[in-house]
Structure 1
Amino acid sequence: MDLLKFNQTKLFASHFLLWVGVWFFYVYFFSYNTTNTLYVTWFSSILLPITMLTTYTTVYYLIPRYLMNRKYWLFGLYSTYVVIFTAFLTTVTMIGSFIFISNLQVENTPVMSRNLVFILILIYLVVGLVSFVYILNHNFNTLSRNKNLENKILDAQLHLKDQELHYLKKQIHPHFLFNALNTIYGFALKQSLQTPDIILKLSNLLDYILYQVTEKEVFLKQELDHIEEYISLEQIRFQDTLEVTIAKNDFDESIRVPPMLFLPFVENAFKHGAIVDGKLQIHMKFEVTKTQLFFHIENSTRNEETETETARIGLTNIRKRLELLYPNHYDLRVETPKNSYVVNLKISLHD
């Protein structure tokens, strides 16, 4: 409420100062080549309300109602009416001032006050200036509102994207946890000395999946280390029926990627892969340069089992996440040669 009163007071003060300035402007011009200050003062004072009426009619009625709504013909028509009415009032003011102030003595009237066209030019000079400021302020406020609206829409979109990205990162297939726990249970029954090591690896991996996933980026080396931990856990479960190879070049260890960028592909290779000729074969390759990251993974499978509904949903979710993370900067290709399922992913690291 106090702010509203302050704004109203500020608006009133600015208008008051404007018209005081216009009054002095009129006094200055009509004082040219005359010493009749009484006439100049009264004439300027009478002309001021006419100027105010014309200005406010133009600024608060004609411009917002017709000009801003692109009704140019009506704006021109009603502006003409306003000019005629202003000219009529000005003429009445000139005649009245001549009769009642100068007592019908032409030599006592200022030269500038005898010219109707000149007076109308002065009035519309003020009208034009105020209208220009009004339109400029209106456009500025419109741009500010549009910018604020765009920012709100952008914030909402980013919030939705963050939520969707968070949801996609949190999608962990429970089968891996069940398999790992079953493996631990089996080793615990045998009282195997490997049990603590398995539990530690599972704990590290779960910490990465459940908590590190909230980070925007992690080091690529950290992502690869957790992939190797994941593979080592699966190696314990599959024993001699698993064959995994990982090829990677030397890369800058400062390179960062979103967490769990590649782990879903590895998880899918184990989940949807199949033992063929006594082995589940998984081959991975990482090639990293300053501008590009290439990832290749291939697993053995039976082609008739490749396109399961779960596999399609998993791949769709992965594509959604990539589109959120790298819009128009990635290329994901899936191939299904005989008894194999191949995924190739290229990511541009810089625009």
Structure 2
Amino acid sequence: MKINIAFSSFLMPITIASCYVMVYYLIPKYLLLKKYSSFLLYGLYTFILTAFAVVLSVFYALIFILDLKIVELPIARSFPFILIAVYLIIFLASGITLLRHYYGSKTNNDKLLTKVLETQLKLKEQELKYLKMQIHPHFLFNTLNTLYGFALSKAEETPDLILKLSNLLDYLLYQVDKPMVDLSSEMNHIQDYIDLEKTRFSDSLDIRMKLEDFPAELQVAPMLFIPFVENSFKHGGSTEGKLQIDINVKAELGKVNFSISNTLRESLPFEKGEGIGLENIKKRLSMLYADRHELRIEKTPNRFNVELIIDTNG
């Protein structure tokens, strides 16, 4: 027993040295850097030198410990077993090193991915804020033009218009910055805007807005639909002396279907490029409802049709 311990103690420096070369030199310098040919070449050299050192240790045991009496050292009769045992320890040490590296790299990659996602989220939030900021001047510009026209003519409806505009501004200031609003609130906002335009167009407007029943808790991003309504008034044309606009909104199973159609003027600017409002809304849709929306815009000789379907489940 003492002889076996002495023999094993002699093999230990060889095993430690081989493990050290494999773990601290070959694996990090070649294998992890994907220099596979160099790793295989130097790994082969290491295994050959290890085998040579094991052979020397066996001879040392026979000559200096046992005086060439092989019978007294059973383990010395199985040189392949000794070599396999040494190689097994090397493989185990290498395997543990690779596992530690894998989990360490995975943890670092997860942290890096989290930082990247957080950065992307912050950029997305900043872009959304910028797009929302664009809504304010664009909407106010159109609405104040209407109010300006009534003020010039000193119309009696001007105070009522100012009150409605105040309600719209209240919505812009306190609701549009929220990530989500009730669909009912959004529709009320659109109705206030339509009431403003009704006053401006008087008898030259024929507008029909149909709202089907939808869940009270259903929410959407604010100011998604108003750009389409604004453009219907701004770019629509009269047929038989009236601008005709049809708006339909329905919701089923978490999907909101918004459609609007208006009579068309001959020279419509959409052919030259979409206005600020539509360009804005497309960007917001791609960010808020990337794979959960459908936007169809169709121009016919007499009408301009828009249909937007949003899936709020997600």
SS of residue in 2 equivalent to 1:260: coil
* 1:84 aligned residue (48, 52, 56): 48
Give 3-state SS (helix, strand or coil) of 1:345's partner. strand
Structure 2 residue aligned with 1:64: 28
Write out per-residue CA displacement over residues 109-138 of structure 1, whole angstroms, 9 at most, x where no aligned residue: 532245432222221121111111111122
Query: Is 1:178 aligned to residue 178 of structure 2?
Result: no
Instruction: Give the aligned partner of residue 289 of structure 1.
Output: 252
Task: Give 1:267 deviation, angstroms.
Answer: 1.4
Q: TM-score, normalised by structure 2?
A: 0.85
**TM-score, normalization by structure 1:** 0.77
Which residue identity is paired with 1:178?
L
Number of the residue aligned with 2:192: 229
Secondary structure, aligned partner of 1:259: coil
Does the alignment pair 1:217 with 2:180?
yes
Distance across 1 between alignment mates of 2:16 and 2:33: 24
Counterpart residue number, 1:253? 216
- The one-letter code of the counterpart of 1:53 is A
Q: Which amino acid aligns with 2:244?
A: Q
Deviates more, 1:122-131 or 1:204-213: 204-213
Which piece of structure 1 moves more, 201-210 or 132-141?
A: 201-210
User: CA separation in 2, counterparts of 1:312 and 1:183?
Assistant: 22
Check 1:210–1:271 CA distance in 2 against 1; reply closer, same or farther (3 A cut).
farther
- Deviation string for 1:98-117 (max 9, x for gaps)? 44444x16268532245432
- Give the structure 2 partner of residue 44 of structure 1: 8
Distance 1:175 1:123, change over 3 A: same
> Residues 308 and 170 from structure 1, CA distance in 2 versus in 1: closer, same or farther, beyond 3 angstroms?
farther
**CA separation in 2, counterparts of 1:193 and 1:334?**
35
- Partners of 1:193 and 1:270 lie apart in 2 by 19
Q: Could you tell me how far apart the structure 1 residues matched to 2:269 and 2:305 are?
A: 11
1:280-312 Cα shifts (integer Å, max 9, x gaps): 332211122124322121223312234364635
Residue correspondence of structure 1 range 140-289 to structure 2 within 5 A: 140-172=103-135, 173=138, 174-182=140-148, 185=151, 192=156, 195=159, 197-289=160-252
For the Cα contact (< 8 Å) 1:332–1:344, is it kept in 2? yes
1:302 maps onto 2:268 in alignment: no
Describe the shift of the 1:155–1:184 C-alpha distance in structure 2 as closer, same or farther (beyond 3 A). Answer: farther
Q: Which amino acid aligns with 1:325?
A: L
Alignment gaps of 5+ in structure 2:
none
Q: Tell me the distance in 1 between the aligned counterparts of 2:271 and 2:277.
A: 10
Residues 94 and 114 in structure 1, CA contact (< 8 A), matched pair in contact too: no
Distance in structure 1 (CA, Å) of the matches to 2:244 and 2:40: 81
Q: Give the AA of the match of 2:292.
A: H
Find the aligned partners of 1:42 and 1:135 in 2 and give their Cα distance. Answer: 32
1-structure distance, mates of 2:149, 2:142: 10
Count the aligned residue pairs. 311
State the 1:272 CA deviation: 1.8
**Unmatched 5+ stretches in structure 1:** 1-33
Q: Which one is further off, 90-99 or 121-130?
A: 90-99
Percent sequence identity over matched residues? 41
Taking CA–CA contacts closer than 8 Å with sequence separation of 6 or more, which of the two structures ends up with the larger relative contact order?
Answer: 2
| 8 A contact 1:87–1:116 mirrored in 2 | no
| In structure 2, C-alpha distance between the alignment counterparts of 1:317 and 1:226, rounded to whole Å | 19
Q: Is the 8 A contact 2:182 2:216 kept in 1?
A: yes
Secondary structure of 1:303 counterpart: coil
